[in-house]
Amino acid sequence: MIKQAPLQFSEPALDGSGLKIGMIVARYNSHVTAAMLKLAQDELLRLQVATDDISIISVPGSYELPAAAQAMLHDRNYDAIICFGCVMKGETRHDVLVGDAAAQGLQRVSLDTGTPIIFGVICAENQRQATERIERGRECAQAAIEMAHTVQSLKKLSIENATNSIR
């Protein structure tokens, strides 16, 4: 049996200079989503995203996040979008339907537009679980910067490959 060395991943350089980031926050369970938004804003600024390059809108709930993301991307170019929501389990299956619709809708918008959309929707069993996951706001900001650079690099590589094949 051949023994393989464990994969080594380097930490990405997280420099947000020149990036345009859109953020959409659901107002439902705003005690959670507003805290996530604040952490994300602070982290984006720490990572050198200019205040003028951060756009923020709010929507009623997590179900509305995909439509808002699609509208934001239709009107303006963003390097990444971050969406925050909080869906908590209730007595019915409504939480499952809303969480799934938000996830699938945001994924479809991201794939259709080629713009990274970071899924910052907490799906929790209760208030305690949701509160424990607020720190995810900072992680979402970091993921947005990383994915914006990743997609830009892949697009640049694709253009270079196309140019080289013409020669």
pLDDT at 160 over 80: no
Q: Name residue, tokens 């253009």.
A: 159
Percent of the chain with pLDDT over 90: 72
Is it the case that residue 162 has pLDDT exceeding 60? no
CATH T-level assignment (fold) for domain 21-166: Rossmann fold (3.40.50)
Q: Maximum distance among all alpha carbons in the chain?
A: 63
Among 31, 74, 94, 149, which one carries the catalytic annotation?
94
Evaluate if residue 3 carries a pLDDT over 80: no
Residues tagged in the binding site annotation? 28, 62-64, 86-88, 91-92, 119, 133
Using DSSP, state whether 124 is helix, strand or coil: strand
Q: State yes or no: pLDDT of 90 exceeds 80.
A: no
Annotated binding site for (2S)-2-hydroxy-3-oxobutyl phosphate: 91-92, 133
Spatial separation of the C-alpha atoms in residues 96 and 94, rounded to whole Å: 5
The confidence band for 76, taking pLDDT boundaries of 50, 70 and 90, is confident
> Which residue has tokens 């996951």?
133
pLDDT, tens digit, for every residue of 6-45?
766 777 779 999 999 999 999 999 999 999 999 999 999 9
Residue 74 is a catalytic residue: no
Binding residues for 5-amino-6-(D-ribitylamino)uracil, by number, are: 28, 62-64, 86-88, 119
Cβ-proximal residues to 103 (8 Å cutoff; 6+ apart), any chain: 119, 121
All structural domains of the chain with their residue ranges: 21-166
CA 88, distance to chain mean position in Å, is 20
pLDDT of residue 126: 92
| Rounded average pLDDT over 125-154 | 94
Lowest average pLDDT, out of 37-51, 59-73, 91-105, 139-153, goes to 91-105
